[in-house]
Every structure is written in C-alpha cells, then in structure tokens.
Amino acid sequence: MLETIRWLPGEECLELLDQTRLPAEISYIKCSDYRQVAAAIKCLAVRGAPAIGAAAAYGLVLAAGKCRANAEEEYLAQVEAAARELAATRPTAVNLSWALTRLLQRASDAGTGDPAVLRDLLLEEAHAIFREDASGNRKIGEYGQGFIPQKGSVLTHCNAGALATAGYGTALGVIRAARNAGKDVSVYADETRPLLQGARLTTLELLQENIPVTLITDNMAGFLMAKKMVDLVIVGADRIASNGDVANKIGTYGLAVLAKAHNIPFYVAAPFSTVDLSLHSGDEIPIEERDHTEVTHHGGRLLAPAGVKVWNPAFDVTPHHLVTAIITDRGIVRPPFGENLKKTTRQGLQDC
C-alpha cells in the first residue's frame, strides 16, 4: 500500500504523495510551510476527504511552528489565520474544517502562550487524527464487508481507498476486508471524469493487492447493471448532512439513480468525521467548482473547441432516499438517517 501522508519528525516537514502523477510516477512533495500543504490540497496532489483533513492538520502544525508573537492571543490569531487559509482550499469535504477545528480547540484549551508547547500539542492532535482515521477505516471494513456476498461484484466510483485516507480506505476498505474474510470479490472501477481518480488510483490500489478489477468509463455503469454484472455499489463521501444526503465525487448521484432503477443496493462508507449534523440537508453542502481546463484538457491536450463554455462541479449530492445504508466507523446506519445518525452520535457504536 502506498503511503499518502508522512510526517518526518527530525525534519519538521510533511511529505505528501503527489497523486497527480500516479500511476506513472511515485514521488513525494516535501512541505515545510503550511502554504505548500494548502497548494498540494488545492491541486489534488493530496485528495480524498479524510486525507485532506489529516494533511491540513499537519499543515497547521507547520504554521504553528513558524508563528511568532509576544502574547498568547496574538499567537493564536496567527494560527487561526493559517487555519482559515487551509480550510478555504476545498470547501466540500467537511473533514478539512473538522480536523482544523479540532486542532484549534486543543490549542485554545491548553491555556498556555508558550509556542513550543502549543506546537507540540497540535502535533499530538494531528497524529491522533491520522491514527484514528487509519483504525476507523479498519472498523468500516469489518462492519461493511457483511454486505458483500461470498462471491460478489462491486461497483465503485472515484477513489475512496488508502490513497484517500490515512490508510486502508473506506469503500475500498470494505472491499479489502471482504477479501481478507475469504470472499471472492471483484470490482468495477468507474474511470471518474474529469480527473480520473478511478482509472489512475483505484485500479492501482486494487491491482497492487491482486484484487480483480475491471476499469469502465463512467457512461458504462447503466449497461453494466442491466447486464446483472454488479451486486452492489459502494462509494465514499465528502460530507453527509444530518438527513443522510451524501456529497461525493461528481457522478455518484447518477450511479445511485441507476442502482435504484436496477434494484441494486447503494452503500456509502465514511468515517463519522464526514457527518455534518449542522446541515439539515444536502442542499446546504457547498459544492466546489473547479477550473474549466480540467474538462477541456487532458495531459496538456485540448479535447474540446477552444472557448467552449464549461461547467465543472467536483461533487454532487445523492439524496438520502437512494442510499441503502451508511457504513461508518461507529457502526452501520440505516434509514431513517435523520433519526439514526443522531442516535449513533449520542450512543456510539450500533447497527440502526
């Protein structure tokens, strides 16, 4: 499994696997300044909701290490300004602001103005976020693998694997766990236009572990389902509203509609840090729109007439009524999601 994020303790520096270069090249970006981390998040060198949360947390540690101030308040104000810059890089995945808020809370609870102490506390918190994500994904895998039949075929979209997290993955974590449980599981990976995370990243992860994977273009999913070649769909999430509406990579909504039409279960796998109970519905989730060149160009080559008008939302929202269940690190949440997500928050682990 490729390592997505690594903190180099002796060097006060963060290394990020440059996912824009995969699968052709394995290279890491060294970040010693939080602005480099922000740039890496923005250009998708590091991507996937949990991974950008963890990367931003380490980014804030880098910022804290460089802030200089005479008073605690002044110091915290500088750290908060860096957090705002990091949070603004990608608006849809709530894990980003969730991780930064967690670090800022730790700093303000500390009750000290000593920059060295604060910076160490922030690093401790960033490590905790990273560790919790990696172990949470194993739990998601354990809970979710029960949905995969002994011999099963899964369709997934984008990349919700080790590369998108601190390790193991969410949707791909469920597939890994099924495989580890001795199931004969095979995967169809949507290529995921425009940036091809499915073609470039999901297939790479699965091939590395000899999990059978077949790449399809996004417009083949309907026919695949009509031909009864897939038993279930599992995707990740960037933000889940309190009613169970799910924001995930553009194209997810279409898959959910197709799955419903073909009577195929549609599962979402995500850590609880992706749930945003402050939002009533998916209508309130901010959807990132990205540069038109991602659609008009590929590998530097123009694919459409110059000057054509383009719409490029990076995510869409799948309404909760199309979701069969949400597989979280605290257990499986079933409809009615409004009630059961809140219950899971209060009572912790359960199947409801």
Return residues touching ligand MRU (CB under 6 A): 44, 47-50, 93, 158, 160, 164-165, 170, 197, 236-238, 248-249, 314
By C-beta, is 170 or 243 nearer to ligand MRU?
170
Q: Please say if 238 is a catalytic residue.
A: yes
CA–CA separation, 260 and 258 (whole Å): 5
Return the structure tokens found at 318: 């799948």
DSSP 45-57: SS-SHHHHHHHHH
What is the closest distance, in whole angstroms, from the C-beta atom of residue 271 to ligand MRU in the complex?
A: 8
What is the closest distance, in whole angstroms, from the C-beta atom of residue 288 to ligand MRU in the complex?
A: 8
What is the closest distance, in whole angstroms, from the C-beta atom of residue 255 to ligand MRU in the complex?
A: 12
Prior bond of 50 cis (ω within 30°): no
What is the closest distance, in whole angstroms, from the C-beta atom of residue 33 to ligand MRU in the complex?
A: 22
By C-beta, is 78 or 312 nearer to ligand MRU?
312
* Catalytic site residue from 133, 218, 238, 276: 238
CA-based nearest residue to 7, from 43, 45, 61: 61
Between vectors from CA 271 to CA 267 and to CA 274, what angle results, nearest 5°?
95
Label the pairing between strands 184-190 and 151-156: parallel
Prior bond of 336 cis (ω within 30°): yes
By C-beta, is 106 or 138 nearer to ligand MRU?
138
Q: Which residues of 255-279 are buried (b: 16+ CB within 10 A; e: fewer)?
A: bbebbeebebebbbbbbbbbbbeeb
By C-beta, is 119 or 324 nearer to ligand MRU?
324
Q: Which residues are catalytic?
A: 238
